[in-house]
């Protein structure tokens, strides 16, 4: 037994002194009446009727008279009303079934007069089944929704599925072995719909099974006509403001997805590559050695750059060098972008190897040459490499350099490679025609909004600020894909004018007739529809506007925008949070949210991100079957520091399941006593109620602060270290079994009359109580298992 760190237990004190117990410190300012009538009644008032119980049980739950203390005979022990001897995850199924029959249970009900609290939750992006990290992340968000209900708010907790996009398209492409651009568009869309339906339903089933308390009756889908029309309407509202422009310029390009990408779509990964040292002859004699990872781009080399302070090359400034294999001369330019420490210190500037090349071409006004096409193959301009994929072309270029004596050496190198976040393929920089949304102009405004929003944890605001600071190009919003929201534009065939229809309808310009009679510029009557689509973040970035019924319910919108809370993962700050901030600024010149809750990533037991390629993805279903959803919820709430990544292992989830078992055992034990109608408090009763009230206070404060860690741990400590060993197992408590007065036990178990009394951590069931199996006789020998501080109404509270 651990040494006691707790304040004196009145029971122990009583026993030691042989006299009456002193009143515990915690209740000095409260009479027992206070305890009952203030906090308890307060709790009772907010206790929603229990869905799992009968009408009678609900009535009991509302019965305030239960709270009034008076004296009766104590309870007597009988058969436990909880029949199941041990906790089983399968018991959760019964709770879910009980929830299901009450359609109003989680319905957003502002008519009850409570303050409305809107949570913008990430609509999952289905591309297969959820891995366990995602399930736990959504459980955290659910706990927040439940705790906000417990705090007395009318919570709009939507569930959506973000079904547009490359993920589903690539799933179809892989399954059929046929790339999108070889499909008939209509047929491809039909295939995507079929596929997404099955995957989306699987996600919904899982979300319900893990206890999400969302308003599933009103699940929204970003690929619905309604949502797409809304997304288009926001575009069309902004259109007259001149925020969009079209341009042919080099941009990030994924040769696999065959579409331009935004900076937010790109990730960087350390990949093995070769650093190829080449010899560029100088027309005046001699040579300059140049190291590159992209020898296949020699045809597109337009300059060689060296650092102005690099003494090795000072005499070559302004001279020419001859490009091997292709034979054209290029200038040797001094420029601070050159890195003397990398390779030979001299680098080639070609169209386009990387971001530096892009900047150099712009700055030096070099004439670009397109060496790689949209499918990732070498073009005619690459001469003998024509038609090869980039990797093969690189190998062939190295061979040819070797044959012609222009190769110095090849070194293996680990290289930070930009890759497409969807296909994980290295991206290229290709000049293409795209629509852009201005964003760089608003950097300072957006940074100000970031400071206006409250972040939990506060340190994660910096993620958003850093991203805003790092942006270098406007947002390319057009994609050459099919299963997305269409860009609602038509072009005049004669003069090329881009024409936008009025907002409000869902437009498919690639197949719908143009909604114009004549071109306002040249009066031509012939139009061609835009066949490109939006980046999917154009859809997701209006979720907060959609939820608050912008455009359809001005009163609701005015009352609830900015949205109360955005919950999301750290990894999508640069996309979802950033783009929503941008859109809300452009549409309403407002911050999008009052508060932002950022959670970490679920990692494997070794701390690695879960990836199919690593084989470390944990399927949530077996875990749920073995340990139950509640165990997963308790694990993620109590083991995760707010905002930190968390390591998931079955052992830890199993450990959390032990707490559920303990709770069950305690509940079952208590359920074997009759509940007294009224009674008189003993000092032990007052003590435990005071502890309980402290737990409630701490938990309320933590939930207001979106902190799940504190209440879950305090509840665990309360049950494990105080309630079970020092109260339920105490002599006075047991004495009451044989006829003595006891009200606190009844009070503590009071919410247990509710079939389902749970905290957000415990998605469901629970009845308080104590287990014979956990008897520790701490209070009997005058020591106490150490306990903690407080506790929560959570441990006794209802489903929120
Ligand atoms: Zn891609
Ligand atoms: Zn025209």
Gap from CA of 500 to ligand 2 centroid (Å): 13
Is residue 476 scored above 70 in pLDDT?
Answer: yes
Which tokens belong to 554?
Answer: 């001005």
- Bigger pLDDT: 230 or 126? 230
In the chain, where are the structural domains located?
26-89+629-796, 259-428
Per residue in 567-576, is it b (16+ CB within 10 Å) or e — as a string? bbbbbbbbbb
Which ligand minimizes its atom distance to the CA of 526?
2
pLDDT value of residue 472: 86
pLDDT in tens, 130-174: 889 999 999 999 999 999 999 999 999 999 999 998 888 988 999
DSSP conformation class of 397:
H
Phi, psi (deg, nearest 5) at residue 584: -65, -35
pLDDT in tens, 105-122: 899 999 889 999 999 998
Phi, psi (deg, nearest 5) at residue 588: -120, 0
Region of 229 (left: φ > 0; alpha: ψ -120 to 50; beta: rest) is alpha
Which ligand minimizes its atom distance to the CA of 261?
1
The neighbouring-strand residues paired with 234 are none
Burial degree of 96 (CB within 10 A; 0-12, 13-18, 19+): middle
Ion ligand 2, residues whose Cβ is below 5 A away: 492, 494-495, 497, 519, 521-522, 524
Is residue 73 scored above 60 in pLDDT?
Answer: no
Is residue 6 scored above 60 in pLDDT?
Answer: no
Which of the four pLDDT bands, split at 50, 70 and 90, describes residue 770?
very low
Which ligand minimizes its atom distance to the CA of 253?
1
Prior bond of 329 cis (ω within 30°): no
Which ligand minimizes its atom distance to the CA of 516?
2
Which of the four pLDDT bands, split at 50, 70 and 90, describes residue 265?
confident
Which ligand minimizes its atom distance to the CA of 497?
2
Gap from CA of 262 to ligand 1 centroid (Å): 11
The neighbouring-strand residues paired with 225 are none
> How distant is the alpha carbon of residue 641 from its chain centre?
16
pLDDT in tens, 500-557: 999 999 999 999 999 999 999 999 999 999 999 999 999 999 999 999 999 999 999 9
pLDDT in tens, 725-757: 998 887 666 555 444 434 455 555 543 332 233
- Over range 358-375, report the average pLDDT: 89
Which ligand minimizes its atom distance to the CA of 479?
1
Gap from CA of 176 to ligand 1 centroid (Å): 18
- Bigger pLDDT: 260 or 237? 237
Gap from CA of 496 to ligand 2 centroid (Å): 6
Gap from CA of 485 to ligand 1 centroid (Å): 18
Which ligand minimizes its atom distance to the CA of 258?
1
> Over the chain, what is the mean pLDDT?
82
Gap from CA of 247 to ligand 2 centroid (Å): 19
The CATH number of domain 26-89+629-796, selected from 3.40.1350, 3.40.190, 1.10.730, 1.10.357: 1.10.730
Is residue 790 scored above 90 in pLDDT?
Answer: no
pLDDT value of residue 309: 93
* Beta carbons within 8 Å of 63's beta carbon, 6+ residues apart: none
Which ligand minimizes its atom distance to the CA of 167?
1
Gap from CA of 499 to ligand 2 centroid (Å): 9
> How distant is the alpha carbon of residue 93 from its chain centre?
26
Which tokens belong to 371?
Answer: 């060496």
Closest CA to 139 of 624, 464, 540, 541: 624
Which ligand minimizes its atom distance to the CA of 259?
1
Which ligand minimizes its atom distance to the CA of 425?
1
Lowest mean pLDDT among 454-468, 563-577, 606-620, 632-646: 606-620
pLDDT value of residue 734: 57
Gap from CA of 592 to ligand 1 centroid (Å): 29
pLDDT value of residue 798: 28
Gap from CA of 361 to ligand 1 centroid (Å): 25
- Over range 43-56, report the average pLDDT: 34
pLDDT in tens, 622-661: 999 999 999 999 999 998 888 999 999 899 999 999 999 9
- CA-to-CA distance for 659 and 664, rounded, in angstroms? 8
Which of the four pLDDT bands, split at 50, 70 and 90, describes residue 331?
very high
Prior bond of 457 cis (ω within 30°): yes
Which ligand minimizes its atom distance to the CA of 421?
1
pLDDT value of residue 728: 86
Is residue 36 scored above 50 in pLDDT?
Answer: no
Phi, psi (deg, nearest 5) at residue 271: -130, 150
Lowest mean pLDDT among 266-270, 488-492, 691-695, 750-754: 750-754
Which ligand minimizes its atom distance to the CA of 499?
2
Domain 259-428: CATH class, spelled out: alpha beta
- CA-to-CA distance for 667 and 769, rounded, in angstroms? 3
Greatest pairwise CA separation for the chain in angstroms: 111
Which of the four pLDDT bands, split at 50, 70 and 90, describes residue 682?
confident
Gap from CA of 494 to ligand 2 centroid (Å): 5
pLDDT value of residue 9: 36
Gap from CA of 511 to ligand 2 centroid (Å): 20
Gap from CA of 518 to ligand 2 centroid (Å): 8
Return the half-sphere exposure (C-beta side, CA atoms, 13 A cut-off) of residue 390.
20
Strands 266-281 and 407-420, by their bridges, are antiparallel
Gap from CA of 425 to ligand 1 centroid (Å): 6
pLDDT value of residue 250: 85
Is residue 678 scored above 80 in pLDDT?
Answer: no
Gap from CA of 181 to ligand 1 centroid (Å): 14
pLDDT value of residue 260: 87
Closest CA to 305 of 270, 229, 373, 357: 357
Gap from CA of 254 to ligand 1 centroid (Å): 5
Gap from CA of 231 to ligand 2 centroid (Å): 26
Closest CA to 707 of 595, 798, 623: 595
pLDDT value of residue 223: 96
Gap from CA of 423 to ligand 1 centroid (Å): 4
Which of the four pLDDT bands, split at 50, 70 and 90, describes residue 199?
confident
Return the half-sphere exposure (C-beta side, CA atoms, 13 A cut-off) of residue 320.
9
Gap from CA of 419 to ligand 1 centroid (Å): 8
Closest CA to 539 of 113, 97, 226: 226
Which ligand minimizes its atom distance to the CA of 519?
2
Closest CA to 266 of 127, 141, 411, 421: 421
Gap from CA of 514 to ligand 2 centroid (Å): 13
Which of the four pLDDT bands, split at 50, 70 and 90, describes residue 327?
very high
pLDDT value of residue 282: 93
Which ligand minimizes its atom distance to the CA of 523?
2
Instruction: Give 191-219 as a 3 state SS string.
Output: HHHHHHHHHHHHHHHHHHHCCCCCCHHHC
Burial degree of 103 (CB within 10 A; 0-12, 13-18, 19+): exposed
Gap from CA of 255 to ligand 1 centroid (Å): 7
Q: Where are the beta strands (DSSP E) in 469-546?
A: 475-476, 478-479, 490-492, 498-499, 527-529, 533-534
Gap from CA of 170 to ligand 1 centroid (Å): 9
Percent of residues, the chain, with pLDDT higher than 90: 62
Which of the four pLDDT bands, split at 50, 70 and 90, describes residue 64?
very low
Gap from CA of 6 to ligand 2 centroid (Å): 83
Gap from CA of 506 to ligand 2 centroid (Å): 24
Which ligand minimizes its atom distance to the CA of 524?
2
């Amino acid at each position: 037994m651990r040494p006691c760190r707790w304040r004196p237990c009145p029971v122990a004190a009583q026993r030691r002194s042989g006299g009456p117990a002193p009143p515990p410190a915690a209740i000095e300012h409260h009479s027992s009446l206070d305890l009952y009538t203030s906090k308890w009644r307060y709790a009772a008032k907010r206790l929603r009727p229990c869905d799992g119980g009968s009408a009678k049980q609900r009535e009991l739950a509302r019965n305030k008279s239960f709270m009034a203390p008076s004296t009766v005979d104590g309870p007597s022990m009988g058969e436990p009303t909880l029949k199941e001897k041990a906790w089983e995850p399968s018991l959760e199924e019964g709770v879910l079934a009980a929830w299901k029959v009450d359609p109003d249970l989680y319905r957003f009900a502002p008519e009850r007069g409570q303050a409305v609290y809107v949570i913008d939750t990430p609509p999952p992006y289905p591309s297969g089944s959820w891995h366990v990290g995602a399930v736990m992340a959504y459980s955290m968000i659910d706990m927040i929704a439940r705790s906000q209900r417990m705090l007395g708010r009318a919570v709009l907790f939507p569930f959506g599925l973000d079904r547009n996009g490359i993920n589903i398209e690539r799933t179809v492409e892989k399954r059929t072995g046929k790339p999108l651009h070889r499909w008939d568009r209509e047929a491809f869309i039909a295939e995507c719909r079929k596929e997404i339906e099955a995957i989306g339903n699987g996600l919904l089933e899982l979300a319900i099974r893990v206890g999400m308390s969302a308003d599933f009756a009103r699940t929204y889908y970003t690929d619905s006509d309604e949502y797409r029309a809304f997304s288009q309407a926001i575009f069309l509202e902004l259109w007259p403001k001149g925020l969009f422009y079209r341009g042919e310029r080099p941009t990030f390009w994924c040769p696999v997805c065959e579409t331009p990408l935004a900076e937010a779509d790109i990730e960087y990964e350390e990949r093995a590559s070769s650093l190829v040292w080449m010899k560029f002859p100088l027309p005046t004699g001699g040579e300059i050695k140049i190291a590159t990872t992209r020898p296949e781009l020699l045809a597109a080399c337009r300059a060689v750059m060296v650092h102005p302070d690099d003494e090795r090359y000072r005499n070559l400034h302004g001279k020419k060098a001859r490009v091997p294999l292709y034979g054209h001369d290029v200038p040797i330019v001094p420029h601070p972008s050159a890195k003397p420490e990398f390779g030979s210190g001299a680098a080639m500037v070609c169209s386009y190897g990387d971001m530096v090349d892009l900047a150099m071409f712009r700055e030096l006004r070099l004439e670009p040459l397109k060496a790689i096409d949209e499918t990732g193959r070498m073009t005619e301009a690459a001469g003998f490499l024509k038609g090869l994929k980039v990797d093969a072309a690189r190998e062939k270029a190295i061979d040819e350099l070797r044959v012609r004596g222009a190769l110095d050496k090849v070194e293996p190198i680990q290289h930070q490679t930009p890759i497409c976040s969807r296909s994980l393929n290295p991206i290229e920089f290709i000049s293409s025609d795209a629509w852009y949304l201005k964003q760089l102009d608003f950097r300072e405004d957006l940074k100000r909004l970031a400071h206006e929003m409250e972040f939990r944890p506060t340190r994660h605001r910096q993620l958003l600020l850093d991203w805003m600071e790092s942006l270098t190009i406007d947002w390319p919003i057009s994609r050459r894909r099919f299963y997305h929201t269409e860009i609602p534009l038509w072009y005049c065939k004669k003069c090329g004018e881009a024409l936008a229809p009025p907002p409000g309808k869902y437009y498919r310009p690639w197949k719908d007739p143009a909604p114009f009679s004549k071109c306002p510029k040249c009066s031509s009557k012939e139009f061609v529809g835009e066949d490109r689509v939006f980046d999917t973040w154009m859809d997701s970035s209006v979720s907060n506007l959609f939820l608050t019924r912008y455009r359809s319910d001005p009163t609701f919108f005015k009352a609830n925008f900015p949205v109360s809370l955005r919950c999301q993962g750290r990894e999508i700050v640069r996309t979802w949070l950033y783009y929503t901030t941008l859109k809300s600024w452009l549409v309403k010149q407002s911050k999008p949210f009052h508060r932002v809750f950022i959670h970490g990533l679920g990692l494997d037991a070794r701390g690695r991100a879960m990836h199919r390629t690593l084989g470390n993805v944990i399927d949530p279903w077996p875990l749920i079957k073995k340990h139950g959803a509640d165990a997963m919820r308790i694990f993620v709430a109590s083991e995760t520091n707010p905002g930190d990544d968390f390591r998931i292992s079955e052992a830890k989830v199993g450990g959390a399941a032990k707490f559920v078992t303990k709770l069950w055992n305690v509940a079952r034990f208590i359920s074997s006593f009759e509940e007294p109608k009224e009674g008189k408090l003993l000092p032990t009763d007052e003590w435990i109620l005071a502890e309980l009230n402290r737990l409630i206070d701490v938990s309320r404060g933590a939930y207001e602060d979106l902190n799940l860690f504190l209440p879950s741990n305090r509840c665990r400590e309360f049950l494990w270290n105080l309630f079970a060993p020092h109260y339920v197992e105490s002599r006075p408590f047991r004495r009451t079994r044989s006829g003595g007065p006891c009200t606190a036990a009844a009070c503590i178990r009071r919410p247990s009359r509710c079939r389902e009394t749970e905290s957000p951590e415990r998605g469901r069931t629970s009845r308080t109580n104590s287990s014979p199996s956990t008897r520790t006789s701490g209070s009997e020998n005058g020591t106490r298992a150490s306990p903690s501080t407080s506790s929560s109404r959570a441990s006794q509270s209802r489903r929120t």
